[in-house]
Amino acid sequence: METQKGLETFRAALCRRHLAVTSQRMKIARAVLEAQDHFTADALLARLKADGARVGRVTVYRTLKVLLEAGLVEERAFDKGRVAYERALGRSHHDHMICVTCRRVIEFESARIEREQRRQAQACGFEVLTHQHTLFGHCRGCRAKRGNGSKA
């Protein structure tokens, strides 16, 4: 499974930063690498606790930072005031559409957009590390339910 590769990368990241491989850190990393969708730090903590792990909020945040810098998770700003995390390993880069009604998240990918984005950055002498591209609107389902007929 991909998780194993991720855990190795995580170990290496800890090593590079002279941090010990502890059971808490490994548990958090494993939970993150196995996550199937977006999650908040607090949701992650809750899940770990529900699974009987003895970890604190602080350690979760600290470990997420390491995972982030190792490129194993990415941060998203879907809702204001809170950060959503998303596993980055084993998934191609993608962007998001958020339904403002039902909060559903639809992923999309466009090589054309990525290419044009790279061109734009290059023109400004800007080196892109990460990016976020999010569309907010109404998903098909919510449009069907109402507000669809007249205004498009």
Partner DNA sequence: AGAATTTATGAAACTAACTTTCAATCATGG
Partner DNA sequence: CCATGATTGAAAGTTAGTTTCATAAATTCT
Residues that bind its own copies (CB under 8 A): 75, 77, 80-81, 83, 97, 99-100, 106, 108, 110, 112-113, 116-117, 120-121, 124-140, 143, 152
- Please answer whether residues 91 and 129 qualify as being in contact, where contact means their C-beta atoms are separated by less than 8 angstroms: no
Between CA 41 and CA 85 the distance in angstroms is 7
Contact between 117 and DNA per CB under 7 A:
no
Contact between 62 and DNA per CB under 7 A:
yes
Query: Is the Cβ of residue 7 or residue 99 nearer to its own copies in the bound state?
Result: 99
Contact between 148 and DNA per CB under 7 A:
no
Q: For the CB of residue 8, give the shortest distance to DNA in the complex, in Å.
A: 18
Query: Which amino acid is residue 95, in one-letter code?
Result: D
Q: List phi, psi (to 5°) of 90.
A: 75, 15
Between CA 72 and CA 19 the distance in angstroms is 17
Query: Which amino acid is residue 139, in one-letter code?
Result: C
Between CA 98 and CA 101 the distance in angstroms is 9
Contact between 73 and DNA per CB under 7 A:
no
Task: Kindly list the residues in this chain that would bind DNA in the complex (CB under 7 A).
Answer: 18-20, 22-25, 40-42, 54-59, 61-62, 80-83
